[in-house]
Amino acid sequence: MNKEKVSYKDALNLAVIVAALGYFVDVYDLVLFLIVGLKSLEDLKIPGEPVKNFQFLLNVQMIGMLIGGVFWGVLGDKKGRLSVLFGSILLYSLANLANGLVAEISTVTGFSPMDTYAVLRFLAGLGLAGELGAGITLVSETMPKETRGYGTMIIASVGVTGAVVAALIGKIGWELSYFIGGGLGISLLLLRIGVFESGMFQGLMEKKVKQGEFMMLFQNKERAIKYLNCILIGLPVWFIIGILIGRAGLIAKTLNVQGTIEQGYAVMLCYGGLVFGDLCSGLMSQALKSRKKVFYFFYLLSTLIIVFYLRQYNVPVATFYIFIFSLGFSVGFWAIFVTVASEQFGTNIRATVTTTVPNFVRGSLVPISILFDYLLEKELGLINTSYIVTAIIVVISLISLYNLDETFGKDLDYLEEEGSSKLKAEGVKLKA
């Protein structure tokens, strides 16, 4: 019992709290734009079709996140986890504040509101790409190896509640919603005092070893495949969020659901389910002393719920909303997913991996959407297409998970050798 008490005490250190709150604001901004983006474009009277303009801005933001994933990851391994944690929070917070002033900034600079909005969404995406990876890396390296799952569980669980808050606050007006998000992020920077850098990273700086080299991940086949597998095991998360929830209204119409699906409410319920899923998966991982067993359980659960979700013909809208919440719960392994990526690689490229992997998974929504729409054009029907893509995603994820090592309780105190897949222990001591 005493050991368990220590575990929870360790999990509530300042690094965990700051990383969790940072991820809260991170998710808040991501979801807020999905909720208020169209409304803001209409209010700004930007020429063109609002839906196409919104999709363009979303794509620009995604490009920013993909670039930012590599940029912040490399920086985290070269300059430290804290520099990325607070640098990314500062950037997306300032972009958030500026998003609420698009019209005013356009007037001052002479740029069109659309161009201004695009630049700000790119900068927001750039900033949003760094916080989670840096936070997970810092916490993974500063907590005891047997209990670090509690810390990452708290980060993800607190973080995804930002989506629920965004759905609620988004109703009060898009300008004020952006200001609130930016203000929350700036306030977080005040907690910087008292958060210490990872002892593993500090020890790494004393050694003459290459660090933050993105191309090291592709110097040999084994390492490259392992990195790819780390990305592929997260595919179900964004397939469900981006496709099955993102197109919930269309699916409900196809199933003749009795009532109208409100997209903002659907997103809020999905992320509400994610909160409980992340808590459950984190606790299961600690109890079973395994990451992979938890993945297998949630893969099975999500597959079963998807099948039932796609068979809800003629049900009341309330019943359909219950399945949306359940889908969110079934992919509530985001914390375990990012933790596994962090635990697979050595200290000298750990931040690079942990920061790029979740952003590449988010980016995977683009090829998944292309495949989904391609199959739709073959007149397979929305429901059959959903089944086919689900099967493809699940099979890919299962194979990728099978090929990864179990990492629960793994000692992270080692380096990746340049040009070799061999892991070399270097004896870096934990100082935090």
Write the pLDDT tens digit of every residue in 117-138: 999 999 999 999 988 888 888 8
Q: Is 403 within a domain?
A: yes
Region 398-410: mean pLDDT is 93
| CATH number (domain holding residue 20) | 1.20.1250.20
User: In angstroms, rounded to a whole number, what is the distance separating the alpha carbons of residues 50 and 46?
Assistant: 8
Write the pLDDT tens digit of every residue in 304-316: 999 999 999 999 9
Read off the pLDDT band of 7 (50, 70, 90).
Answer: very low
Read off the pLDDT band of 419 (50, 70, 90).
Answer: low
Region 1-21: mean pLDDT is 61
What would the DSSP string read from start to end of 272-289? Answer: HHHHHHHHHHHHHHHHHT
Residue 367 in this model has a pLDDT that exceeds 60: yes
Please enumerate in sequence order all residues whose Cβ is within 8 A of that of 312, keeping only pairs 6 or more positions apart, or say none: 255, 257, 319, 320, 323
Q: Is 17 within a domain?
A: yes
Q: Is 47 within a domain?
A: yes
Residue 199: per-residue pLDDT: 54
Higher pLDDT, 49 or 392: 392
Q: Is 431 within a domain?
A: no
User: In angstroms, rounded to a whole number, what is the distance separating the alpha carbons of residues 398 and 394?
Assistant: 6
Residue type, 352: T
Residue 189: per-residue pLDDT: 82
Q: Which CA distances in Å does 280 have to 11, 196, 201, 330?
A: 16, 29, 30, 10
Residue 12 in this model has a pLDDT that exceeds 80: no
Write the pLDDT tens digit of every residue in 75-123: 888 888 788 888 898 999 999 999 999 999 999 999 999 999 999 999 9
For the four alpha carbons of 210, 216, 219 and 222, in that order, the dihedral sign comes to positive
Residue 9 in this model has a pLDDT that exceeds 80: no
Strand partners, 258: 316
Write the pLDDT tens digit of every residue in 298-349: 999 999 999 999 999 999 999 999 999 999 999 999 889 999 999 999 888 8
Q: Is 182 within a domain?
A: yes
Half-sphere exposure of 20 (CA within 13 A, CB side): 19
Half-sphere exposure of 409 (CA within 13 A, CB side): 7
Specify the pTM: 0.85
For the four alpha carbons of 254, 258, 264 and 267, in that order, the dihedral sign comes to negative
Determine the Cα angle at 183 with ends 115 and 84, to 5°: 80
The single residue listed with the structure tokens 């220590």 is 6
Half-sphere exposure of 430 (CA within 13 A, CB side): 12
For the four alpha carbons of 48, 50, 55 and 57, in that order, the dihedral sign comes to positive
Expressed as residue numbers, the domain containing 338 is 2-425
Region 409-430: mean pLDDT is 59
The single residue listed with the structure tokens 């201004």 is 116
Q: Is 88 within a domain?
A: yes
Residue 201: per-residue pLDDT: 53
Q: DSSP state, 316?
A: B
Higher pLDDT, 4 or 365: 365
Strand partners, 415: 424
For the four alpha carbons of 142, 146, 147 and 152, in that order, the dihedral sign comes to positive
Q: Is 432 within a domain?
A: no
Residue 204: per-residue pLDDT: 55
What value does the mean pLDDT of the chain take?
Answer: 86
Q: Is 430 within a domain?
A: no
Q: Which CA distances in Å does 345 have to 236, 332, 416?
A: 23, 23, 7
Task: Tell me phi and psi for residue 144, to 5 degrees.
Answer: -55, 140
Q: Which CA distances in Å does 100 have to 40, 65, 157, 180, 341?
A: 9, 20, 27, 10, 35
Write the pLDDT tens digit of every residue in 167-203: 889 888 899 999 999 999 898 887 665 565 555 555 6
Read off the pLDDT band of 226 (50, 70, 90).
Answer: very high
Percent of the chain with pLDDT over 90: 48
Q: What domain count does the chain have?
A: 1
Closest CA to 294 of 305, 285, 283: 285
The single residue listed with the structure tokens 């629960």 is 408
H or E stretch at 228: helix 221-232
Residue 424: per-residue pLDDT: 43
Min mean pLDDT across 7-21, 107-121, 362-376 is at: 7-21
Write the pLDDT tens digit of every residue in 257-313: 999 998 888 988 999 999 899 999 999 999 999 999 999 999 999 999 999 999 999
